Homo-oligomer: A and B are copies of this chain.
Amino acid sequence: MSRKRITIYDLAKALNISASYVSRALNNDPFINEKVKEQVKAKAEELNYQQNANAFNLRKGITRTIGVVVPKINEIFFANAIAGIEEACSKNNYNLIICQSAESLKKEIKAVETLIQQNVDCIIISVTMETDSSEHLRRVIENKMHLIQFDRVRNDVDSFKVENDNLQAAYIAVQHLIQQGYKKIAHIGGPGFLKVFNDRKQGYMKAMQEAGLKIPSTYMTEGDLTKTTGHSAATALLSKSNHPDAFFCSSDNIAFGVLQAAAAMKIKVPQELGVMGFQNEPFDELLIPSLSSIEQNSKELGKHAADIYFNILASAKTPSVPSTEVIQCALEERDSTRKNVVSATAESAVSM
């Protein structure tokens, strides 16, 4: 059962033509006899010929490898994004090197250096929260490699970018709350120095403004994305006289905290309080009331990022100008914002 892979020489011998001609036939060289081409392809199929990637790459001086740098691979948002990248890569016969920065700028720089040394053809990256410099990203471009940023991007680097339309997503989310009849909507956001969270805030404000709704200064808070943040922010706001009748949160964990605070204060969701999260975590639909949220389509996001590279590759002639592409989010309407439809399940809200 010893395994000897078929090469173009084997094909050549079997067909009584030269190896180089086989190579050309396989690569659809235009100056080639159509009939021979078909014969070659048929034979290749028959003998189960598989191109030797190492020889090909060595010859071409490329690696057919994409490097990915993300904060954490086992966070659902990034896991999905990687699933998308992976899909595009395997379709194009590309390899993947995955690096985790663990939210550390130092590790991120090291990962990028490694990938440069490994001579990957392209680097797809989502920077850490503490990335406040772009030196290492610029080095990628200086090395004639393709750089594609996604989700958390730095704008002081002239690269392709793929982002969610966070502003629009927030806008739609808040609009939904307004349509449901909520009027005093508060926002609990993420760290403001990150663009994604700032955009969500902007979307929130835009929707409120357009609807002619006031935003008391206390209605906009900021914090990390934890349940604790949501719990304490909601508890504080809900105990005031002019308390909100809905919360738009920048993460599902925050929203979860809000739900708990509401339950503790015997405030009924969604009847007396609407709660909207962000991220569409798997646990959203497990909660009662189930949590309305924003699906970020992160798999699409990853797939799209990788496809940008493959498109560049396909149209190698036209020197592509870095653009920013946008992946739309989608509203996942669930019970926590259904003010109008008081469902049976929602009645048993204060359970679990």
Q: Given contacts A74-B76, A96-B96, is CB(A54)–CB(B63) below 8 Å?
A: yes
- Specify which chain B residues have a CB less than 8 angstroms from the CB of A54 in the assembled complex: 53-55, 57-58, 63
- Specify which chain B residues have a CB less than 8 angstroms from the CB of A184 in the assembled complex: none
B-contacting residues, A188-212, CB 8 Å: none
Q: How far is the CB of A109 from chain B (nearest CB, A)?
A: 15
- Specify which chain B residues have a CB less than 8 angstroms from the CB of A164 in the assembled complex: none
A73 to B54, alpha carbons, bound, how many Å? 27
Among residues of B, the one whose C-beta sits closest to the C-beta of A298 is B74
**Is A260 within 8 A of B352, CB to CB?**
yes
Asked whether A26 is an interface residue with its Cβ less than 8 Å from the other chain, the reply is no
**Is A79 within 8 A of B90, CB to CB?**
no
A65 to B96, alpha carbons, bound, how many Å? 10
Supplied contacts A256-B286, A283-B283, 17 more A-B pairs, CB within 8 Å: A2-B144, A53-B54, A53-B63, A54-B54, A58-B58, A73-B83, A74-B82, A74-B83, A83-B100, A90-B99, A253-B286, A260-B288, A260-B351, A264-B351, A350-B352, A351-B352, A352-B352
Query: Hey, which bits of chain A sit against chain B, CB under 8 A?
Result: 1-3, 5, 48, 50, 52-55, 57-58, 63, 65, 73-74, 76, 79-80, 82-83, 86, 90, 95-100, 117-119, 142-144, 227, 253, 256, 259-260, 263-264, 281-283, 286-288, 299, 348, 350-352
